[in-house]
Structure 1
């Protein structure tokens, strides 16, 4: 997200991060960024003067003791810390992202609480589901993007691109790098899967061996034993490239994507280096907002602040979905 904002013309004033490898990666690539390595609960945001606050908080459940939760009732969650930053800083715009599943969390109560709390600070708040594949990223990855604007500030979400790029486009001339390997047994099984295929393309006896008990279950299994094809976008990357339920096998070789391939699929520039163990590097990349998706949103945020005359006149509505 910080890279996307940078590419859109913003200057980073502060980043707060608890994971030591993430901190080291940020400091290695941007020595001039002020990266605070601490628990965000210990950070005081009062007195900061910035235009934009961004954050990504986990999809944590709230305890619903009453019929309606207020800001204080979300205490103890990382959403509370993001909301506290917004409340203490009072930026012109705030931007947050989350997984699509947050809309269904606690039968819609979580998203309703989030919207009510953020709106109570005097912001016009909305959210939309954006798919990274529509913004120059070779990956089908849906994320909920929250936008809060002070009264009078207009914002519009970026328009999707008409021509999504493929895995082949993204990995052209990708630098060599370290990467995870499959076991010999797994290689034997996945050799049966063609590009664009999955476990269903294996011989029936191989299917049973690979799938185990999952062979007899129904629904939601096409990510298992999945080999991505060159002429399609990748499926959503996870924090580990060799998970059985969310397999992402290389189109030609029987192996997971390497670290640099992972980074390309998330639209990181080749110049961005990752610090830490192999598993930590995969985790950092898999948890990130795709850079080009972040850039597309950040450009619209920049337009709202610097060139408001270019923002379409659209009504602002409090958007709450009930499930």
Structure 2
């Protein structure tokens, strides 16, 4: 009887990727051995069976981890930095922000207030030259807004994108020449202009010397974020680098609103009290009738018609309208304004929008991260942010890539 299992067989049996098994080998969770005859790396069948027994004993135990230590200091230049969601996440993964550009003065004040040591470049990206960072920065990141290009020629070039913020992103990447660049955007970019906008971006990055890793849309709920938010990630690797980039592994555990607002695994105390928006009395009367996890269709029909107006007859779900979130589900994607009609995110127990600190918790900002400006400005900054925990997991994947890259330059 064969006492050994190949990597593929073990992967199938355990239900884990080959990459996870390789990591388990390094971490001692499941050690590979050399098969006596072929000398291939294989697994002892009894070791796999023992591990499977353990897995079934504690099926809830999370075995995935994207954590990786940087082998040296790695630096990031961040564009369109907003209130720092991505920057804080990257910092948590061990990457160092050397400079951040942002046009919104309140967001810049937020960055300075929380990180006085960060070099915050306030103003329009068009007015900055970043050549001083050439070959001194490992990563350029940026959540550039999605804008259409004019399609003059078949192959879109950098000059065709002038006047768009993606042009500025690509210009800075060209000026700085980092090993890797990361753009992030809304999922809608996939279908914007029937996919032409994204293809245009890819051809521009190709023109300036970057290979694009296959595009992925990452779901925040798979990365320790209690929110159904999705971000499209665009990864470019400089063409002289022959090292593969791998997206962060998704986690099995999904966190809910109770994990965001109450003491538990994500936060070591209940959400701090803070100011928050209020519903007008007319809306409050309607939302009082909606149960947790319910929405407008849970209202009496006459109130549905009155509240929805013409939309009532259009059909479709419109599940964000008159929506009350339940404790035992992730929040829907937060918007820039917590009380607007199309996107109500009502508190489970109280008939009100989430407060500023509750908003920040759903986006996994630390409680000590303070937001500058009016209440409306604070909501806008938080609603626009990349969730901090998603940024951290993305950061680990960048660190892993840079470790491999620098190891390839100095093989032992």
TM norm structure 1: 0.94
Match of 1:86 in 2: 173
Structure 2 residue ranges without an equivalent (≥5): 1-85, 263-269
Whole-angstrom distance in 1 between the partners of 2:153 and 2:237: 28
Separation of aligned partners in 1, 2:404 and 2:117: 27
Give 1:46's aligned residue.
131
Q: What is the aligned counterpart of 2:114 among 8, 18, 29?
A: 29
1:248-283, CA deviations, whole angstroms, 9 ceiling, x for partnerless residues?
Answer: 000010000000000000000001000000110000
In structure 2, distance between residues paired with 1:3 and 1:207: 42
Q: Which whole-Å deviations, capped at 9, do the CAs of 1:96-145 have from their partners, x for residues lacking one?
A: 10000011111111010011111222222122100000000000011101
Q: Distance in 1 between matches of 2:132 and 2:116?
A: 24
Query: Which consecutive unaligned segments of at least 5 residues does structure 1 have?
Result: 312-323
Per-residue deviation at 1:154? 2.0
* Equivalent in the alignment of 2:99: 14
Measure how far apart 1:220 and its partner are: 4.1
Deviations 1:273-308 (A, max 9, x none): 000001100000000000000110111101111245
Equivalent in 172, 175, 178 of residue 275 of structure 2: 178
Q: 1:1-323 counterparts in 2 under 5 A?
A: 1-48=86-133, 49-126=136-213, 127-150=215-238, 151-172=241-262, 173-307=270-404
For residues 139-196 of structure 1, give each alpha carbon's deviation from its aligned partner in whole angstroms, at most 9, with x where no partner exists: 0011101111122132100111101100011100100001000011111001111000
Q: TM-score by structure 2 length?
A: 0.74
CA distance in 1, matches of 2:407, 2:359: 35
Contact kept? 1:14, 1:36, Cα under 8 Å: yes
Q: How many residues align?
A: 311
* Helix, strand or coil at the partner of 2:293: coil
Equivalent-residue separation in structure 1 for 2:407 and 2:251 (angstroms):
19
Distance 1:135 1:221 in 2: 26
Structure of greater Rg: 2
Cα RMSD, aligned residues only: 1.4
CA contact (8 A) 2:243 2:404 kept: no
